[in-house]
Amino acid sequence: MLIIRDILAVAAKRASKTEIVYRSNINFVAAEKYITRLLLRGMLVTVVDEGKSKFQTTPLGIEALSKLTEVQRLVEGTENPR
């Protein structure tokens, strides 16, 4: 789940696959698997930026990123208890 959150966060500012790999701390095989899944679910789109293919987080992906970040905060105990 954290990998998906990291990918969505990195791609929020448009990112190449290489940028996603390095900034999410995953390998290319894993990146391909997760990126494909996120593309199919409409959370990422492919865009052309300065002649290069990059990935951009969609509004649905931003919503998922927000929820995943909230879950991470709850699990790690950084959220105030209610």
Q: What are the structural domains, with CATH classification, of the chain?
A: 2-75 (1.10.10.10)
Mean pLDDT of 53-69: 97
10, 79, 82, 2: which is closest to 44 by C-alpha?
A: 10
- Judged against a pLDDT cut of 50, whether residue 77 lies above it is answered with yes
The 10s digit of each residue's pLDDT in 7-56 is 999 999 999 999 999 999 999 999 999 999 999 999 999 999 999 999 99
Stretch (H or E) spanning 57: strand 52-57
Q: Report residue 33 as tokens.
A: 């698997």
If pLDDT is split at 50, 70 and 90, which confidence band does 1 have? confident
Model pTM score: 0.89
- Judged against a pLDDT cut of 70, whether residue 79 lies above it is answered with no
pLDDT of residue 82: 47
